[in-house]
């Protein structure tokens, strides 16, 4: 367990997340176009590109500093909508990682719990409101439970993310622009839940074989 390995793992994780969001940017904006303003792919790509750029020469910093810098970069790039949500999520992750130097499975779970807590706090949504929280909360709980059972955290977390994102199709939107559509929001997957799955899959790809960093 050392700081350089943790730093390079976190940088690799954000690079994978950015690439995944970039690759699906059009699809995310189309999903948002159906129930919102159609900017979700663009704003998410903008945010994570900024994070990747801000961290590129900072791999020597401890995990908490990387998440704190990432939060600020995301917020500077995306001032509205998902900007404050992910900025708060990354900031809460930073706080949970404050005293640690590694980034193995226990710290990866702290990151997921921090993101879920920050998104919940900033968005003020409840479970079932058809938002990204419908993915982040159950995933954080699933990862924690797997860790405590001594099992691999990522396969179950990704499966849970996919299941919960699909479930948002049959939820009524109660937050954001989509809430104005009422019943017309039914049948559409929430774009924030969809991008959360992309993020989690990219995290899993990078982190599943780096559980002891």
Quote the least distance from Cβ 43 to Mg ion, whole Å: 7
Q: Would you say 32 or 190 has its CB closer to Mg ion?
A: 32
CB 164 within 8 A of CB 130: no
- Report how far residue 121's alpha carbon sits from residue 207's, in angstroms, rounded to the nearest whole number: 26
> Which is closer to Mg ion, CB of 30 or CB of 65?
30
Least distance from Mg ion to the Cβ atom of residue 14, Å: 22
CB closer to Mg ion out of 36 and 47: 36
Give the whole-angstrom CA distance, residue 20 versus residue 45.
9
Residue placing its CB nearer to Mg ion in the complex, 39 or 52: 39
Q: Give the binding site for Mg ion (CB under 5 A).
A: 32, 36-37, 39-40
The 8-class DSSP code of residue 61 comes to: S
SS3 assignment for 98-141: CCCCCCCHHHHHHHHHHHHHHHHHHHCCCCCCCCCHHHHHHHHH
Residue closer to Mg ion (CB basis): 64 or 82: 82
Give the shortest CB-46-to-Mg ion separation in angstroms.
12
CB 74, CB 93: distance < 8 Å = no
CB 123 within 8 A of CB 173: no
Q: Do 141 and 120 form a contact (C-beta atoms < 8 A)?
A: no
In the complex, minimum distance from the CB of residue 153 to Mg ion, in angstroms, rounded to a whole number: 30
- Residue 65 C-beta: closest distance to Mg ion, Å: 30
Rounded Cα gap, residues 182 and 159, in angstroms: 29
Which residue of the chain is nearest Mg ion when measured via CB? 36
């Amino acid at each position: 367990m050392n700081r350089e390995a943790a730093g390079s793992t976190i940088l690799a994780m954000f690079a994978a997340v950015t690439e995944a969001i970039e690759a699906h940017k059009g699809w995310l904006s189309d999903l948002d176009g159906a129930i919102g303003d159609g900017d979700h792919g663009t704003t998410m790509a903008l945010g994570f590109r900024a994070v990747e750029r801000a961290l590129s020469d900072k791999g020597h910093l401890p995990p908490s500093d990387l998440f704190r810098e990432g939060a600020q970069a995301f917020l500077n790039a995306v001032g509205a909508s998902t900007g404050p949500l992910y900025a708060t999520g990354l900031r809460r992750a930073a706080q949970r990682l404050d005293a640690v130097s590694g980034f193995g499975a226990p710290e990866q779970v702290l990151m997921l719990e921090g993101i879920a807590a920050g998104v919940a706090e900033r968005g003020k949504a409840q479970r079932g409101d058809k938002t990204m929280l419908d993915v982040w909360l159950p995933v954080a709980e699933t990862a924690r439970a797997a860790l405590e059972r001594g099992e691999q955290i990522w396969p179950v977390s990704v499966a849970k993310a996919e299941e919960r994102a699909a479930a948002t199709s049959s939820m009524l939107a109660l937050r954001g622009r989509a809430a104005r559509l009422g019943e017309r929001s039914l049948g559409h997957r929430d774009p924030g839940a969809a991008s959360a799955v992309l993020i989690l899959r990219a995290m899993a790809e990078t982190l599943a074989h780096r559980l002891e960093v």
